[in-house]
Amino acid sequence: MSADTRNATAIQAEQVGKRYYLGEGVGGPGGLAAALESGLKAPFRRLRGHRPVSHVEGEEFWALRDVSFSIERGEVVGMIGRNGAGKSTMLKILAQITPPTEGRVVLRGRVSSLLEVGTGFHPELTGRENIFLNGTVLGMRRRQIVEKFDEIVEFSEIGQFLDTPVKRYSSGMYVRLAFSVASHLLTEILLIDEVLAVGDAAFQRKCLDRMEAISRSGDHTIIFVSHSTQTVRKVADRIILLEDGRLTLDGPAEEVTAKYLERIQPIEHGGFSVIGRDVTRGGTGEARTVRVALQDDSGNIRERIHFGEPFTVELTVEVDKPIPEAAFDVGISTQDGGRFMTASSSDKGGEWLELRPGTHKIRARIEATLYPGEFVIDAGIYTSNGTQIDDIERVLSFTGLNTPAVEGGERYQWDVSQGYVRAPSSWTPVEEPSPVEPLTAPVSPGQGAR
């Protein structure tokens, strides 16, 4: 490997493994005190060339095993996988929060990370003070922080609370400030976990746009973890898939997500699907969509929808704890993952729903006319402040037919150039007023131009 190639590599993971022991407290025998003592001694063990050693007895659990990959400087790489696949553990190793049990990681450049809400913030300090604290920790001079300060505050949208201790911030405010700091006080390597799901939808889009802008510079390496394949594909050209602690796919975003989605599909039963807890989903998890059914107006389960026929999507939801104001959305996408329509229960003054612990059903009747094709349904739950509670893609597939909903009804020879949905619309002719001839004053005999 040439010197130029080595210098171009920002992250090198070589046969990384991480082992934990189940059934013990923090750090094993001795609990928190022992863990703190071990943490204080760890740097000196590393200086002497000793690897971290655990004497905990109990059942072994390998969160990661034999994971190897290389990421070049300027790449934006997504990391996906089911809950428990090892994504967050991998990021913590890359962020040097926890050491690997085996293998090694080589990082070329300073690292900033956004892994958990409030990570890197001192709760007693104000937002303003934490901006300077974070910049100092990242090795920046005060002058450099001051130059970026106004941009950070403007992007985070928390100017009103800038001099309030961050311990009083909501989780959404934490995320706004943390992302803004991490993405403006830029290091060479930026690590972002699913934490963005805490923010509202508008701010999530703003963050994704910011990451895209960073990636275009080519100077910063980003690893972005998310449960949403659509979100990852928006910012990453390459995706790493972790399954049961092992790297199973690493390649172009479209190719990896397509193979991944094939593996995580809910169990379909012709017109409805049952969604287990192990199916990958995004959101905070206080509620989960566990069943989705496609129905006609008579309540019959349907696999196919005729041209011009309204249809109903019925969601069955399990709620773990009270959610005072919730809303649901149903997305319709093409088989290749392109979302072209979303129906939301909060649209057009729709009421926010109080969800109590237990099982609930909600139906969305959709009157949009779908052109013929093969479609999939996405489902989501969110709160009135925009926090995503549940987000699951490709939960149910169905077919749009060219045949009319009623005998003798309208047939349409579909062409993809017409799109996928016919939106209801009203048209009004506008009559333009007749043009008015300009008035000119008569010119008296002998009167000329002056």
Domain locations in the chain?
4-262, 267-414
pTM: 0.60
Q: What is the pLDDT of residue 244?
A: 86
Dihedral sign (CA 340, 343, 344, 347): positive
Pairing outcome for strands 388-404 and 373-383: antiparallel
Who's near 365: CB < 8 A, 6+ residues apart? Answer: 297, 310, 311, 312
Q: How far apart (Å, rounded) are the C-alpha atoms in residues 331 and 377?
A: 6
Q: Which residues of the chain have pLDDT under 50?
A: 1-6, 24-56, 448-450
Q: Give start and end residues of each alpha helix (H) in 354-407.
A: none
Residue located via tokens 């080595």: 6
Q: What is the pLDDT of residue 185?
A: 79
- Strand blocks (E) in 32-108: 59-72, 76-80, 102-107
Q: How far apart (Å, rounded) are the C-alpha atoms in residues 97 and 86?
A: 15
Q: What is the pLDDT of residue 337?
A: 67
CATH of domain 4-262: 3.40.50.300
Q: What is the pLDDT of residue 172?
A: 79
Q: What is the pLDDT of residue 4?
A: 44
Backbone conformation region of residue 299, classed left if phi is above 0, alpha if psi is from -120 to 50, else beta? left
Q: Do residues 277 and 82 touch, judged by C-beta distance below 8 A?
A: no
CATH of domain 267-414: 2.70.50.60
Q: How far apart (Å, rounded) are the C-alpha atoms in residues 378 and 164?
A: 39
Q: What is the pLDDT of residue 53?
A: 43
Q: Determine the angle formed by the axes of helices 142-156 and 171-184, rounding to 10 degrees.
A: 140
Q: How far apart (Å, rounded) are the C-alpha atoms in residues 366 and 348?
A: 14
Q: What is the pLDDT of residue 226?
A: 82
Q: What is the pLDDT of residue 40?
A: 44
Q: What is the pLDDT of residue 26?
A: 39
CA-based diameter of the chain, in Å?
118
pLDDT in tens, 238-260: 999 998 899 999 999 988 988 88
Q: How far apart (Å, rounded) are the C-alpha atoms in residues 324 and 162?
A: 28
